[in-house]
Chain A
Amino acid sequence: MNVKDQVIAIIAEQALLEPSDVTLDSTPSDLGIDSLGLVEAIFAIEETFDISVPFNANDPTEGDFDISSVAKIIEGIEKLKAGQAA
């Protein structure tokens, strides 16, 4: 599985949806993921990709990690993977 499919699988599991229901332009709240669900999804992302995601539930927009859509999340992970592998 590539990063995109893995992320969609994680988000789908969190949202109790089929991966086919998760589109790239969905936002976490479109999918019914609340702040606690988001924290859990980010944990799964960190474990899956062995990266550390800067995310503070008090201010989700504070870090560099953009969670505004599935596509942005995938983009952020690609960036972190490249940066943290180096």
Chain B
Amino acid sequence: MKRVVITGAGTINALGFDVADTFKAMREGRCGIGPLEFRDVDRLAIKIGGQVHGYEPEAHFNRQQLSLYDRFTQFTLLAARQAMEQSGLEFHGELADRSGVILGNSGGGLNTQDENFRAVYEDGKNRVHPFVVPKLMNNAAASHVSMEFNLRGPTFTVATACASSNHAMGQAYQMVRSGMAPVMITGGSESMLCFGGVKAWEGLRVMSKDACRPFCATRNGMVQGEGAGVFVFEDYDHARARGADILAEVVGFAMSSDAADIVMPSKAGAARAISGALKDGKIAKERISYINAHGTGTAANDKTECAAVADVFGAHADSLMMSSTKSMHGHLIGGTGAVELLACIMALKDGIIAPTIGYQEHDPECALDVVPNEAREATVDVVMSNAFAFGGLNAVIALARV
């Protein structure tokens, strides 16, 4: 089996327009969550989110591109451009034929759907733009990345709600590891912050009106975010041969299904994914010193996740750190695992653990070291990132310092 390393990373999210800005915000424990700005926001009960502000599509894409790129595709392409530039890779010949793109996404072009449903239902129009379908389909971003960088191998989109990106990165990892593909572009994106998108979430009554406070006794729900995280996963020998800078190594992955409830999380399902990732990577549990939690800030997730971690790690659970960066960038749903993998890379590369901000009060049901409010310096060798989706679908990925 091949070793798999990360040789490029890119992002745009509420904390920054690139990886450096996002790392800086995570170090500073800055909150990217604030008042939402879009049409009809006054008709929502939930008016906050981790929205990307100050972004001008016209600065990056021409008119023809914008008629085909929903906001989630735009975010994906911007993140992919950064990741590709950092990797220094160009795809021609056999390398192009064998390398591909696997991205996570849940809602597809929800802004495009929202705008066009509004046009036909509310405004009574009988005609929509000819590219509505290719713009809203949730494989659009993966396809445009493949076109922009000439990636002609296995390319598709994974949709497993909040675990989409972790599932996508797990697939990419397995393809490179098995030797099927020398390089895979992977990660995910989401852009659900529009009237219909937030209204749907509001109905479930799990959203917070004021802040995302994971693991805190006063937590009262999740807050949505938007953006993208894209990575270059590359065969270690291939990366070494060309002298590439290596950000981290992917060392384990596992997935599981709770097979229990469509929204309530299960401790057993989460624990099976966590212990599965350890087993997959032959990682002794004591070597894990940081976990980027799923940590949504809902009552149910956070206590279930802490219980699952305590179950898997036993006494070691008390000596590891586990933070939720959703407190800063919000929950990016299908893109969340990708942006959160950045916190794992920062921990390994820079020795800085991103905090769980907004933490006010200890919850005995979440009695782990959640790195409250301030980033911490620590040398860590192996880290993991959890994602537990609605539908009971879990995916956990482990990274190590190279």
Contact = CB atoms under 8 A, between A and B. Distances in A.
Interface of A: 34-36, 39, 42-43, 52, 55-59, 62
B206 A58 contact: yes
Contact of A58 (B203, B221, B264): B221
B200 interface: no
Given A39-B204, A39-B205, A43-B203, A58 B299 contact: yes
Contact of A56 (B221, B262, B263): B221
Contacts of A52: 45
B264 A57 contact: no
A36 B264 CA distance: 9
A55 B205 CA distance: 7
B298 interface: yes
29 contacts: A34-B264, A35-B264, A36-B261, A36-B262, A39-B204, A42-B205, A43-B203, A52-B45, A55-B205, A56-B206, A56-B208, A56-B220, A57-B204, A57-B205, A57-B206, A57-B221, A57-B298, A57-B299, A58-B206, A58-B208, A58-B219, A58-B220, A58-B221, A58-B298, A58-B299, A58-B300, A59-B220, A59-B299, A62-B220
Task: Give the 5 A-B CB pairs with smallest separation, nearest first.
Answer: A58-B299, A57-B205, A58-B221, A58-B220, A39-B205
If over half of A's interface residues share one DSSP class (helix, strand or loop), that class is named, otherwise mixed; here it is loop
A41 to B, nearest CB: 11
Interface string B238-274: 0000000000000000000000011110000000000
Interface string B194-221: 0000000001111010000000000111
A38 to B, nearest CB: 9
A39 B45 CA distance: 15
B209 to A, nearest CB: 8
Contact of B263 (A36, A55, A59): A36
Contacts of B208: 56, 58
A58 B220 CA distance: 6
B125 to A, nearest CB: 28
A56 B261 CA distance: 19
A36 B260 CA distance: 14
A57 B204 CA distance: 8
A73 to B, nearest CB: 15
Nearest to A38: B205
Nearest to B45: A52
Contacts of A35: 264, 300
A58 B299 CA distance: 5
